[in-house]
């Protein structure tokens, strides 16, 4: 194995961490953190790793060899987290793996799923089969790879969940129980995303606060409220470092959505470029909270790196923008003026959307750990087109 070096990547990591820490309220920076910060600064300035040892090791994970690697046995407590992502081949998993690998090194993150990974994913970094319903196998992966952070993305989303309630109940609730127990037993930091779908008709619909009545009417929403409460319970009962963010509908150019109610807001970009015709499954005026994937994943990483002392809750709302299909169409037509639109409502998705908030109040996230979004609707639309046109261009060149 090559000797670890203090690379530009690590300097970059340290700089980013320092600037994040400076952005936090002074009360959140304890004396240990101050010592770490000054050591980090010295490392950045001198370009040399310090004797106390920070995150400079490179682990030798490979997709083919994930267990019993001697390098893991000499790891020290202050080193980079070793991260497992469940359900990693969905809409968000690979994007988050990329972000975490940039931050902590390519081999610090194992992506897992029950599906076969495409070539480009398999060769990009460690991948392993993990069914969250198989408790023993999941525990073995966590133990053998000395996992310290568990990012739990394995799920059945709202629309697909309603079509197969027993499976959704099993994956979303039994799977969560497995993950909670393994995280608690092994002292992991556990992140389980929640959703706007955790609210319901009895919640305030506009500027929905973090704490209010939650009576969702989908198995997906019910399972997410369950996850929020169980995570909070495990935190108080067993000291589990459980964290959750209620994501809005997430929009990304990298992956196709996995059967959620807000999927239309991704589909429109593909249709606008491919056929110039878009069929909306939601009514023109159905406003929902939305977020560009880069904001969502950055929020997640920043939240995970926030010291525990700064957090006043275990589950926070995060928000960026809210729009309806009609408002999105208007913005998309600035780039594709000939786009034709038909509203062909899907009764299942429309019924779900009608019970969800139109906007979220995320002031606690902004106050406690400095959350701030970058993308509004115009920025989202121009970025999506730039990325998708770039991808088409590359595909055409490759053919």
Ligand X SMILES: NC(=O)c1ccc[n+]([C@@H]2O[C@H](COP(=O)([O-])OP(=O)(O)OC[C@H]3O[C@@H](n4cnc5c(N)ncnc54)[C@H](O)[C@@H]3O)[C@@H](O)[C@H]2O)c1
Count other C-beta atoms under 10 Å from residue 81's C-beta.
18
Q: Which is nearer to ligand X, 104 or 356 (CB)?
A: 356
Interaction of residue 155 with ligand X, rule CB under 6 A: yes
Task: Between 113 and 368, name the residue whose CB sits nearer to ligand X.
Answer: 113
Tell which one of 204, 258, 307, 370 touches ligand X (CB under 6 A): 258
Residue partners of 93: CB distance under 8 A and separation at least 6: 85, 87, 111, 113, 153
184 and 234 in contact (C-beta within 8 Å)?
A: yes
- Choosing from 59, 220, 292, 375, the catalytic residue is 220
Q: Count Cβ neighbours within 10 Å for each residue of 198-222 and write b for 16 or more, e otherwise.
A: bbbeebebeebebeeebebbbbbbb
- The DSSP 8-state label assigned to residue 113 in this structure reads E
Question: Of residues 66, 133, 310, 351, which one binds ligand X by CB under 6 A?
Answer: 133
Cβ proximity to ligand X, 220 vs 234, nearer residue: 220
Q: Which stretch binds ligand X (CB under 6 A): 20-28, 108-116, 211-219, 312-320?
A: 108-116
Task: List the beta bridge partners of residue 321.
Answer: 290
Q: Which of 49, 57, 85, 86 binds ligand X (CB under 6 A)?
A: 86
Applying CB under 6 A, does 89 fall inside the site for ligand X? yes
User: Is 216 near ligand X (CB under 6 A)?
Assistant: no
User: Is 249 a residue that touches ligand X (CB under 6 A)?
Assistant: yes
260 contacts ligand X (rule: CB under 6 A): yes
Are 297 and 291 a contacting pair, CB within 8 Å?
no
- Alpha helices for the chain (secondary structure H): 8-23, 31-46, 70-73, 93-104, 119-122, 135-144, 158-163, 165-169, 175-185, 219-238, 264-274, 293-305, 325-332, 347-353, 363-369, 377-398
Alpha-carbon span 193 to 93, nearest angstrom = 12
* Segment contacting ligand X by CB under 6 A, of 48-56, 75-83, 131-139, 349-357: 131-139
The nearer residue to ligand X, 54 or 196, going by C-beta atoms, is 196
Give 172 or 306: the residue with its C-beta nearer to ligand X.
172
Segment lying near ligand X (by CB under 6 A), choices 148-156, 298-306, 349-357, 378-386: 148-156
Which residues lie below 8 Å from residue 274, measured CB to CB, with a gap of 6+? none
Strand pairing class (83-86; 340-343): unpaired
Q: Which residue is nearest to ligand X (CB)?
A: 90
Tell me phi and psi for residue 105, to 5 degrees.
105, 145
Minimum Å gap between C-beta 257 and ligand X is 6
Residue 153 contacts ligand X per CB under 6 A: yes
Are 304 and 149 a contacting pair, CB within 8 Å?
A: yes
- Cα 257 to Cα 251: distance, rounded to the nearest angstrom: 8
Position 131 contacts ligand X (CB under 6 A)? yes
- Which listed range, 62-70, 140-148, 243-251, 352-360, lies at the site for ligand X (CB under 6 A)? 243-251
Q: Among residues 93 and 105, whose Cβ is nearest to ligand X?
A: 93
Q: Does 317 bind ligand X (CB under 6 A)?
A: no
Judged by CB under 6 A, the number of residues near ligand X is 27
Segment contacting ligand X by CB under 6 A, of 21-29, 84-92, 281-289, 378-386: 84-92
Is 220 catalytic? The answer is yes
Annotated catalytic residues are 220
Site residues (vs ligand X, CB under 6 A): 86-87, 89-93, 113-115, 131-133, 153-155, 157, 171, 175, 193, 195, 247, 249-250, 258, 260, 262
């Amino acid at each position: 194995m090559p000797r670890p070096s203090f690379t530009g990547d690590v300097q970059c990591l340290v700089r980013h961490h320092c600037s994040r820490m400076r952005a936090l309220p002074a009360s959140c920076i304890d004396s240990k953190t101050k010592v770490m910060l000054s050591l980090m600064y010295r490392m950045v300035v001198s370009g040399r790793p310090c004797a106390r040892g920070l995150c400079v090791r490179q682990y030798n994970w490979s997709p083919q060899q994930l267990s019993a690697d001697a390098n893991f046995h000499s790891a020290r407590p202050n080193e980079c987290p070793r991260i497992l992502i469940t359900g990693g081949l969905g809409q968000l998993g690979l994007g988050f793996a990329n972000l975490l690998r940039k931050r902590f090194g390519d081999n610090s993150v194992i992506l897992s799923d029950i599906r076969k990974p495409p070539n480009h994913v398999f060769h990009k970094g460690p991948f392993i089969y993990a069914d969250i319903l198989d408790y023993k196998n999941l525990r073995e992966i966590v133990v053998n790879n000395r996992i310290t952070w568990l990012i739990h993305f394995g799920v059945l989303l709202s629309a697909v969940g309603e079509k197969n309630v027993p499976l959704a109940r099993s994956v979303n609730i039994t799977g969560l129980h497995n993950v909670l127990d393994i995280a608690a037993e092994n002292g992991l930091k556990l992140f389980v995303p929640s959703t706007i779908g955790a609210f319901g008709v009895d919640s305030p619909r506009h500027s929905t606060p973090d704490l209010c009545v939650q009576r969702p009417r989908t198995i997906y929403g019910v399972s997410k409220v369950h996850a929020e409460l169980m995570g909070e319970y495990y935190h108080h009962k067993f000291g589990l470092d459980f964290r959750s963010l209620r994501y809005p509908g997430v929009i990304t150019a990298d992956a196709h959505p996995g059967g959620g109610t807000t999927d239309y807001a991704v589909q429109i970009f593909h249709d606008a470029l491919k056929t110039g015709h878009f069929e909306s499954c939601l009514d023109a005026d159905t406003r929902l909270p939305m977020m560009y994937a880069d904001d969502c994943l950055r929020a997640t990483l920043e939240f995970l790196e926030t010291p525990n002392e700064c957090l006043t809750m275990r589950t926070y709302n995060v928000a960026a923008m809210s729009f309806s299909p009609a408002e999105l169409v208007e913005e998309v037509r600035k780039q594709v003026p000939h786009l034709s639109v038909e509203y062909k409502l899907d009764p299942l998705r429309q019924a779900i959307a009608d019970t969800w908030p139109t906007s979220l109040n995320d002031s606690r996230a902004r106050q406690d750990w400095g959350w701030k979004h970058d993308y509004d609707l115009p920025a989202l639309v121009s970025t999506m087109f730039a990325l998708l046109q770039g991808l088409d261009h590359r595909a055409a060149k490759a053919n």
